[in-house]
Chain A
Amino acid sequence: MTTLFFIEHVNGQVSDQSLKAISATSQIDGDVHGLIVGSDIDSVVAEASKIEGLSKLMHLDDGSFNNILAENLTQLILNISGDYEYFLAAATTTGKNVMPRLAAKLDVSQISEIIAIEGPDTFIRTIYAGNAIATVQTSDPKKVLTVRPTAFKSALIGSSGCEITKINAENMPSISEFIGEELTKSDRPELTSAKTIISGGRGMQNGENFELLDKVAEKLGAAVGASRAAVDAGFVPNDYQVGQTGKVVAPELYIAVGISGAIQHLAGMKDSKVIVAINKDEEAPIFDVADYGLVADLFQVLPELEQAL
């Protein structure tokens, strides 16, 4: 059996999410082939070819794939799908966009955001936003999986590269078109890949006060998040939201400031390695999951924290 893994790249490097997710393939028997797409990415292709465990890398050198359309990438993978038994990608917005489309084209189920591999056909994934963990077994001959990157350690990049093959884009559908992209300009890491996150809740009182979090985030190289309560109150945009209906994160360090700890929020962050809670209400449920709790007025202690770092 052979596995095909779709490798993403960001800013001239193999995506951190892909590097983590590809580690999952080490628990599947057989060869692992990579697929990478885009033009003018020679250094990324060279880097990707050195990912440990990869025995072959296919590269589509095509500028129309610099911005990925699900319709076209699905067709590309279908074109080369022949003998592969496993199809994997990181559960990024691209992976989530493409892999179910591929699975339906192959007439198989897709298994989303696996966090562990139990056997050749048996996988573990979270449901109900992490409030339950399911072990599932598929009877489909081909397995199409997305992998939750936070559940795996980054694959190593070795010194020698595997064989690189160029492939072509054939039979591309022309039913969709890329118009533009507006990436959040920030020196800070993105929420889902950040190692440290500092989030604010209703206790922040207004949007301007989020600057207090920004200052700490700058010192820590952290991303800034928010609870749904803070988003609902209009303090920050919705893409800040960590929780059941927002982003699920699992950083090394999660600092919850002025967040009571409603179940919706906990569902999105309780897999964080270390949780810090700062809240003036000592009864707040966030303290039940926090490794370190500080009962204090956030307006007093946030500037202190910034100073102390």
Chain B
Amino acid sequence: MKILVPVKRVIDPYVNIRVRSDETGVETENVKMSMNPFCEIAVEEAIRLKEAGKAEEIIAVSIGNQSCQETIRTALAMGADRGIHVLTEEKIEPISIAKILSKICEQESPGLVISGKQAIDGDNNQTGQMLAALTDMPQGTFASKIEIDSDKVKVTREIDGGLQTVSLNMPAIITTDLRLNEPRYASLPNIMKAKKKPIDQKSPEDYGIDVTPRVNVLKVIEPPKREAGIKVENISELVEKLKNEAGVI
């Protein structure tokens, strides 16, 4: 079985986000970039399934500019076998990403696609579900546990208020939540080895997909700043303020 893992390059989660003063977006020049944390979890899960003998090959896919090659290399260094880079300079939306991935699914016939539940830049939380729709595959979103049992996969999902378990016919799409696993760091020898692993370069046109945006970002602004309030001396003053001033208890 093949596992396809889409990976996204995003601003590193530990970087302070700066909104551009011209309100066109968030500053990405000279900012540290990393693999989206939920995608790291997806790569890790694919590797664990391969280590457990449930999968033979892991293909990491990234869609975006030339630098996305680095993100694919990271996945290869963690343990993915080969990469597909779909090169585009467009700001590409989840629906277009899902369409490109659906074409890759047609060509590669993966038994599972494991993706992050959302990227921490756009916070859309859409691509996996959309890919499942376009390929008519079942979806196990927000997964905290995955068990393959012959031609089905049992997915434990993080839902509001607890956990839900579903059984999906394979091929299936799974999106990862935080508790699924703790991603490994790539070792230096593996980083060296990853440099020799193949990355196929493609374009959206190769898949016949029009990636023209449908959603136009009119402006991006900073959220209203919170002012620091006051310091209280002790608990009784705190409780008094919460009761009488803020009226929240």
The 0/1 profile, CB within 8 Å of A marked 1, for residues 44-57 of chain B is 00000000000000
Question: Which chain A residues lie closer than 8 Å to B13 at the CB level?
Answer: 244-245, 264
Q: A100-B125, A101-B133, A131-B17 are in contact. Are A274 and B160 (CB under 8 A)?
A: no
Question: Which chain A residues lie closer than 8 Å to B124 at the CB level?
Answer: 100, 110, 112
Enumerate B127-157 residues with CB–CB distance to A below 8 Å.
127-134, 136-139, 141-142, 154, 157
Question: Which chain A residues lie closer than 8 Å to B109 at the CB level?
Answer: none
| Inter-subunit contact B160/A190 (CB<8 Å) | yes
Q: A183-B162, A294-B234 are in contact. Are A135 and B246 (CB under 8 A)?
A: no
| Inter-subunit contact B94/A308 (CB<8 Å) | no
Interface class of chain B by DSSP: mixed
| Inter-subunit contact A294/B232 (CB<8 Å) | yes
Question: Which chain A residues lie closer than 8 Å to B221 at the CB level?
Answer: 132-133, 135
Q: A130-B223, A131-B223, A136-B216 are in contact. Are A175 and B137 (CB under 8 A)?
A: yes
Enumerate B10-42 residues with CB–CB distance to A below 8 Å.
11, 13-14, 16-17, 19, 26, 37-38
Question: Which chain A residues lie closer than 8 Å to B235 at the CB level?
Answer: 294, 301, 304-305, 308
Q: Please classify how large the interface on chain B is, using the bins under 10, 10 to 19, 20 to 34, 35 or more.
A: 35 or more
- Sample 18 A-B pairs with CB under 8 A, ordered by A number: A101-B129, A104-B130, A112-B124, A126-B123, A128-B17, A128-B120, A130-B223, A131-B19, A178-B165, A179-B166, A180-B164, A181-B162, A181-B165, A184-B161, A292-B229, A292-B238, A292-B246, A309-B249
- What 6 A-B pairs are tightest by C-beta distance, nearest first? A291-B229, A104-B133, A183-B162, A100-B129, A104-B130, A100-B126
Binding site for B on A (CB under 8 A): 10, 17, 67, 69-71, 74, 92-94, 96-105, 107-113, 122, 125-140, 173, 175-184, 190, 192-193, 196, 220, 237-239, 241, 244-246, 252-253, 263-264, 270, 273-276, 287-296, 301, 304-305, 308-309
